[in-house]
Amino acid sequence: MIQKLKKEVLNTIRSGRLNVFLVFLVSAFVILIFTKLSKAYTNTVAFNLEYQNVPQEKVILKDTSRSFEITLKTHGFKWLNYYFSKPTFTVDFSKDVVDKNNAFIFTKTLSQINDRKQFQNHIEILGIKPDTLIFHYDTNLVKKVPVIADVTLNFEPGYNSYTGVKMQPDSITIIGPQDKVSRIDALKTEVVTYNAIKSNIEQDIQLVLPEQEDNLKFSNKRILIRANVEKFTEGSVNIPITVTNLPKGMAIKYFPKTVKVSYYTSLANFKTIKAKDFKIECNYKKVTKGQPFLIPELVKIPEYAKRVKVHQQHIEFIIL
């Protein structure tokens, strides 16, 4: 019996009658689906709210609803779009709302919503829930704060930078609730360390922003840092000493009359630095009782000299 049934099935497949049946079955199913999708259906869909053109000095509070429901009537093909991705509804705060009692109130009617481009193509809006959208807000504080570069530069021997790290921008604007913004006096960059530097640096880096502060807006969240790197060399000059603030009628004799000063500068500027670009003074008023020496202080340094060092720390003197 089983062998006979098996033989009949094989004969049916060979004859092609089963293939014809499957074609008709699939065709009927496709026609049924298209018939269903061509009909109009009414359903309620939750839309995410998207804010547009919110006034810069205002911030929408977190307790405000972020979605609302719209009852739509359209054919099945359109409904497929809503089932595969959650739709959004844009609220334009420059024209869709009125400002009343520290809140923005959505004022559009059903007919006005139906006129929106996203609902014009065979879509009819039958209702919205809630029928009034209220967006509570707080008044923002606008504050400009400096940026602090948390950047370390470690140069190859013989290389350095006059300017160090330069930032663009070097300050940013923060907008948000007054109680939060007023607590921020500066923002740091992420920690960055450069080693064995011997060429210019230019990199975009992240700012370290306050955590869990969704209501704050920042004019920049990243900044550009630059450092111009040059080849450096060491130089030295002998600088005469000037004694200041001697009491009236007092004369002293001091030794040495000049001191050696060493400095670090770029090869390009080495020949431009002269002894007259430095000035060393000893302030007699800073001499304490029983102290038999003056202390030399650099009061003038050329612009392009770095790591300037006075090699004589004590200037001996006697009162004449």
CA 244 to chain centroid: 51
Instruction: Determine which of 52-61, 67-76, 196-205 has the lowest per-residue pLDDT on average.
Output: 67-76
pLDDT at position 37 is 47
Helix (H, G, I), strand (E, B) or coil at 164: coil
Query: Over the stretch 250-259, which tens digit does the pLDDT of each residue have?
Result: 899 999 999 9
Which residues, 6+ apart, have CB-to-CB distance to 212 below 8 Å? none
pLDDT at position 31 is 55
User: Which residues are paired to 145 by β-bridges?
Assistant: 172
Measured distance CA(256)–CA(315) in Å, rounded: 6
Query: Over the stretch 102-123, which tens digit does the pLDDT of each residue have?
Result: 888 887 666 667 666 666 566 6
Query: Over the stretch 271-314, which tens digit does the pLDDT of each residue have?
Result: 999 999 999 999 999 998 888 899 999 999 998 898 999 999 99
- Select the more confidently predicted residue: 226 or 74: 226
Asked whether 63 and 24 are in contact (CB, 8 A), the reply is no
Asked whether 102 and 136 are in contact (CB, 8 A), the reply is yes
Asked whether 252 and 291 are in contact (CB, 8 A), the reply is no
Residue 101, H or E segment: none
| Measured CA distances, 56 to 96, 101, 135, 137, 223 (Å) | 16, 18, 15, 12, 22
Query: Over the stretch 118-177, which tens digit does the pLDDT of each residue have?
Result: 665 666 777 777 777 888 887 788 899 999 999 999 999 999 998 889 999 999 999 888
3-class SS letters over 172-211: EEEEEEHHHHCCCCCEEECCEEEEEECCCEEEEEEECCCC
